């Protein structure tokens, strides 16, 4: 295991209601520099999208990966937004998602610059995925109070897995 990535087991989370701004992309497009994730983040921050999401459950920002075409090689929906208490009001240009209950493994990045630590963690997760069974339901990143300084942040990444999973 990387000395910079911590893993821990989360048995199950309660279902999560989410509202956010979505795009469809693929890891191939993102790695080739043809992706849309950086521009979505830029737009999200520039236009204070988080402030436009009603009924937020907490101040955290979530970035979700869902509607996987297949696995890490296929397309998926990426959305940035927040956990909400109800999805009765979805602002124009946003979409609601329901993150269902399932087992997750949580990867915690080292502290550092957000783009750097998140890419580093995903590279580790893709390696880890070669010998572990991901569910490819919904995976998500949590940007909480540890992310106030984008140059010295720490992010949790929740990966949906299949079946019972051993503790690390």
CATH code for the domain in which residue 48 is found: 3.20.80.10
pLDDT beyond 60 at 93: yes
For the chain, what is the domain count?
Answer: 1
Query: Would residue 61 count as lying in a domain?
Result: yes
pTM metric for this prediction = 0.92
Query: Would residue 165 count as lying in a domain?
Result: no
**Lowest-confidence pick of 8-17, 32-41, 91-100:** 8-17
Q: In this structure, are residues 107 and 123 in contact, taking their beta carbons and an 8 Å threshold?
A: no
Query: Would residue 83 count as lying in a domain?
Result: yes
* Domain membership of residue 119 as a residue range: 6-160
> Of 1, 52, 10, 28, which Cα lies nearest the Cα of 139?
10
The Cα–Cα gap between 132 and 143 comes to 25
127-163 per-position pLDDT tens digit: 998 988 899 999 999 999 999 999 999 999 999 998 7
Mean pLDDT of 107-125: 94
pLDDT given at position 3: 56
């Amino acid at each position: 295991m990387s000395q910079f990535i911590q893993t821990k087991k989360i048995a199950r989370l309660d279902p999560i209601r989410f509202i956010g701004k979505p795009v469809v992309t693929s890891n191939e497009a993102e790695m080739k520099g043809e992706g849309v994730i950086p521009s979505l983040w830029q737009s999200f921050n520039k236009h204070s999208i988080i402030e436009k999401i009603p009924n937020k459950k907490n101040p955290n920002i979530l970035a979700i990966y869902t509607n996987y075409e297949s696995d890490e090689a296929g397309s998926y929906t990426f959305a940035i937004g927040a956990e909400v208490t109800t999805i009765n009001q979805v602002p124009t240009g946003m979409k609601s998602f329901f993150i269902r209950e399932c087992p997750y493994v949580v990867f915690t990045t080292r502290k550092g610059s957000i783009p750097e630590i998140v890419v580093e963690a995903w590279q580790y997760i893709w390696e880890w995925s070669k010998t572990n069974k991901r569910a490819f339901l919904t995976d998500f990143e949590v940007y909480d109070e540890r992310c106030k300084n984008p140059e010295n942040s720490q992010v949790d990444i929740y990966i949906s897995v299949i079946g019972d999973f051993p503790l690390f």
